[in-house]
């Protein structure tokens, strides 16, 4: 039975019949995507947190933990031990030391504040006393280096000849470790918030219910949301990598396509997890808590700021099963070492499983109203 037949036929319409247009299959999808992108663009907070904040973080951490330039071992020499200064200057490693002579009190003060790595104090009968802090790795190192320099300047010959080669090539510095980690963390953050938070917000505003009251295809809606994530992902990745290359002379070894593929999979994985966390929550307060709860362990364990190798080996398999660990490892391997995508399949598999299982569960539990 056709619908048109059921509408009563009016003899004389009071106003001209409404003008119509026709929409194609993808009109809804493209409008949803466009609306989403416009909204993001007009939200200054989003631009800041997604694009600017990671750059600032990279800049700050990159500067704080930059590899020290040559001669960076700073040594305090307490008055009365000046002969140590003469010896250090004669030593072959002289240019590694930044030496300052001052009185005992100023030397202690500076040492406590971390201004000096080691202090050389005069001991009885022309001996020296090293003041160092065994808990500070650079202090331990400084003591050894100063001692080596003093001994060899005073005539010690090493029984085995050795030759040091310094390596602070791009690719092995902290900033090189950091940037892929930040990239992974950023993809997680924006995936979880961009999907999870946005959905609950729309549900709370009854906008989802309003959409469901139209013939909108629900799949198109989710697809538009995922597409907007992928577009943002390209900008996020591009910005951070370009920033690393420009400011820190980072070298990107892997292919751009490979990196984009990994980042895209990461985006979708966390989009899926975000969808799952948002599947039932009615209030943005509750989903915010949930999102933080899910992300917290990954911030700590997944090797964003420092390597997860520092955790006991026994929990490494667990850590490697986390999606952010897989994403970070894959990004590092691809960016820093140029490992081909195909060799990374276990990591990609971890992401696919997390993303896929989350997506399926989310669709099962999802509440549109």
Partner 1 sequence: MPTAIECRDLRKTYDDKVEAVRGLNLEIQAGECFGLLGPNGAGKTTTIEILEGLLAPTSGMVSILGHRWDENEREMREWLGISLQETRLSEKLSVRETIDLFASFYREPRSTDEVLEELQLTEKADSWVGKLSGGQRQRLAVATALVCNPKILFLDEPTTGLDPQSRRQLWDIIRVFQRNGGTVLLTTHYMDEAERLCDRLAIIDHGQVIAQGSPPDLITRLGGHHVVEFLVDGNSGGAQDVWRTLPSVESVREDDGLIALNVKQPHLTIPALLEAIERQGGKLQHLTTRQASLEDVFVRLTGRHLRED
Binding site for partner 1 (CB under 8 A): 1, 3, 6-10, 13-15, 17-23, 27-28, 30-32, 35, 38-39, 42-43, 205-207, 209-216, 369
Least distance CB 274 / partner 1 (angstroms): 19
Task: Using the minimum distance from each CB to partner 1, give the nearer residue, 44 or 161.
Answer: 44
Task: Using the minimum distance from each CB to partner 1, give the nearer residue, 68 or 209.
Answer: 209
Contact 334, 259 (CB under 8 A): yes
Contact 87, 97 (CB under 8 A): no
Least distance CB 290 / partner 1 (angstroms): 22
Task: Using the minimum distance from each CB to partner 1, give the nearer residue, 15 or 125.
Answer: 15
Taking the C-alpha atoms of residue 183 and residue 335, their distance in angstroms, rounded to an integer, is 11
Least distance CB 221 / partner 1 (angstroms): 10
Among candidate residues 194, 326, 168, 182, the one with its CA nearest the CA of residue 241: 182
Contact 175, 63 (CB under 8 A): no
Contact 142, 127 (CB under 8 A): no
Task: Using the minimum distance from each CB to partner 1, give the nearer residue, 28 or 122.
Answer: 28
Q: Which two tokens stand for residue 21?
A: 């247009």
Task: Using the minimum distance from each CB to partner 1, give the nearer residue, 11 or 125.
Answer: 11
Residue corresponding to tokens 């598999």: 349
Least distance CB 212 / partner 1 (angstroms): 6
Least distance CB 7 / partner 1 (angstroms): 5
Q: Which two tokens stand for residue 303?
A: 């090797």
Contact 237, 191 (CB under 8 A): no
Q: Is 342 exposed, middle or buried (0-12, 13-18, 19+ CB in 10 A)?
A: exposed
297 contact partners, CB below 8 Å, separation of at least 6: 322
Task: Using the minimum distance from each CB to partner 1, give the nearer residue, 38 or 357.
Answer: 38
Least distance CB 229 / partner 1 (angstroms): 17
C-alpha count within 13 angstroms, C-beta hemisphere, residue 74: 12
Task: Using the minimum distance from each CB to partner 1, give the nearer residue, 141 or 216.
Answer: 216
Q: How far is CA 115 from CA 77, 145, 316, in A?
A: 13, 17, 36
Q: Which two tokens stand for residue 250?
A: 């980072």
Least distance CB 281 / partner 1 (angstroms): 17
Least distance CB 364 / partner 1 (angstroms): 17
Using DSSP, state whether 78 is helix, strand or coil. Answer: strand
Contact 93, 145 (CB under 8 A): yes
Task: Using the minimum distance from each CB to partner 1, give the nearer residue, 5 or 166.
Answer: 5
């Amino acid at each position: 039975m056709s619908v048109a037949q059921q509408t009563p036929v009016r003899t004389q319409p009071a106003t001209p019949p409404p003008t119509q247009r026709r929409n194609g299959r993808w009109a809804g999808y493209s409008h949803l995507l466009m609306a989403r992108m416009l909204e993001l663009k007009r939200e200054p907070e989003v631009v800041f947190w997604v694009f600017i904040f990671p750059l600032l973080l990279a800049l700050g951490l990159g500067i704080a933990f930059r590899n020290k330039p040559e001669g960076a071992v700073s040594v305090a020499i307490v008055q009365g031990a000046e002969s140590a200064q003469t010896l250090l200057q004669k030593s072959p490693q002289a240019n590694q030391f930044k030496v300052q002579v001052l009185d005992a009190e100023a030397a202690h003060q500076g040492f406590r504040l971390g201004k000096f790595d080691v202090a050389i104090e005069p001991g009885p009968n022309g001996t020296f006393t090293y003041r160092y802090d065994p808990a500070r790795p650079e202090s331990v190192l400084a003591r050894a280096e100063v001692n080596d320099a003093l001994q060899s300047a005073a005539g010690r010959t090493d029984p085995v000849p050795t030759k040091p080669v310094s390596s602070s090539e791009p690719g092995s510095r902290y900033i090189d470790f950091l940037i892929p980690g930040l990239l992974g963390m950023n993809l997680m953050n924006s995936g979880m918030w961009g999907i999870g938070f946005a959905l609950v917000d729309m549900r709370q505003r009854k906008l989802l219910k309003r959409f469901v009251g139209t013939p909108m295809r629900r799949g198109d809606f989710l697809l538009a949301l995922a597409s907007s994530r992928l577009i943002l992902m390209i900008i996020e990745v591009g910005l951070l990598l370009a920033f690393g290359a420009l400011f820190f002379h980072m070298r990107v070894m892997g292919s751009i396509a490979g990196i984009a593929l990994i980042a895209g999979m990461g985006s979708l994985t966390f989009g899926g997890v975000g969808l799952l966390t948002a599947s039932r929550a009615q209030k943005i307060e509750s989903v915010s808590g949930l999102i933080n709860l899910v992300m917290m362990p990954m911030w700590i364990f997944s090797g964003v700021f420092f390597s997860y190798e520092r955790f006991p080996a026994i929990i490494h398999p667990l850590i490697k099963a986390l999606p952010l660990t897989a994403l970070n490892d894959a990004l590092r391997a691809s960016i820093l070492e140029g490992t081909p995508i195909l060799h990374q399949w276990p990591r990609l598999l971890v992401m696919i499983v997390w993303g896929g299982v989350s997506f399926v569960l989310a669709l099962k539990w999802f509440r549109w109203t």
